Amino acid sequence: MLRLSEIIKKTKVRKGEIAVFYLAQAGFCFKNSKNKKVFIDPYLSDVCNRLFGFKRMIPSPIMPEEVDADILVSTHFHADHLDTDAVSVIAKKNRTYFLGSPDCEEVYRKLGISKEKYSIIRKGESKIINNIEFKAVYADHDRLAPDAIGLLIDFDGIKIYNVGDSAYRPEKILKSLAGVAADIMISPINGRFGNMDAAQTCMLGALVKPKILLASHFWMFIEHNGDPAKFLDEAKKLPRGIKPMVMAPGEKLVYSHLTKILGG
């Protein structure tokens, strides 16, 4: 069986498509038709166990040394989103560029990542890197991480909305999205540590109206909670036209902007 790193490498993405790979926890990899690979919040080590005693419960589908990322984005500095053990390995590859919320900058510096290799993005700001547009949108992670952001990413017209770690704040979130229609929305379902639970994610999904609603933030730590079965049950209340999905770690899907269907 091929390793996920080989699957990502061998996946051919046509114009008007985006390939999505689930890395477990809140981590995803996106590959576009220009062969650019964006990793968001990859948690690949067991650093949270080392630092806090939060033991990793499922294996990583990809090892840090296998990551071939053009851009690695962290929505905030928590170790399950900015994995310092993994990033210290990935940063040795000169091609990887880092993008993070303001609270990530000190971590980048401590890891020895030069200023030429990273950018900081604040709520309301947009940056274009490798012809991919990243917009930092509202997220409320309370005092746990007040600088935390959500992300709206535009891959040649395919728009991915990553809620990030956030409480249910529909008015502020919708205002921040400014009416942009998301093709894929990714949202936590664990309902702990300031995050939305399954019901709240589905309520927000009903307002955002993405084509696909992906669950994240489940099964990695006993302490974090998160029940995909409850998410799918709550998702029965979603308006027609929104497809709820729970991806397995290492699973791939290909979304077509032209036909609005899945494959791969």
Does domain 18-263 correspond to CATH entry 3.60.15.10?
Answer: yes
Round to whole Å and give the CA distance between 234 and 228. Answer: 10
pLDDT recorded at residue 133: 98
Can you spell out the DSSP letters for 174-236? Answer: HHHHTTPPPSEEEEE-B--TT--BHHHHHHHHHHH--SEEEEES-SS-GGG---HHHHHHHGG
The residue type found at 23 is L
Cα separation of 212 and 262, whole Å? 10
Contact (CB, 8 A) for 261 and 18: no
Give the end-to-end CA distance of the chain in Å, rounded to a whole number: 16
- DSSP H or E segment with residue 161: strand 158-162
Domain boundaries, the chain: 18-263
Pairing of strands 71-74, 37-40: parallel
| Confidence at residue 205, expressed as pLDDT on a 0 to 100 scale | 98
Task: Give every residue of the chain whose pLDDT is below 70, as ranges.
Answer: 259-264
Note the pTM of the prediction, 2 decimals: 0.95
pLDDT per residue as tens digits for the range 134-189 = 999 999 998 889 999 999 999 999 999 999 999 999 999 999 999 998 999 999 99
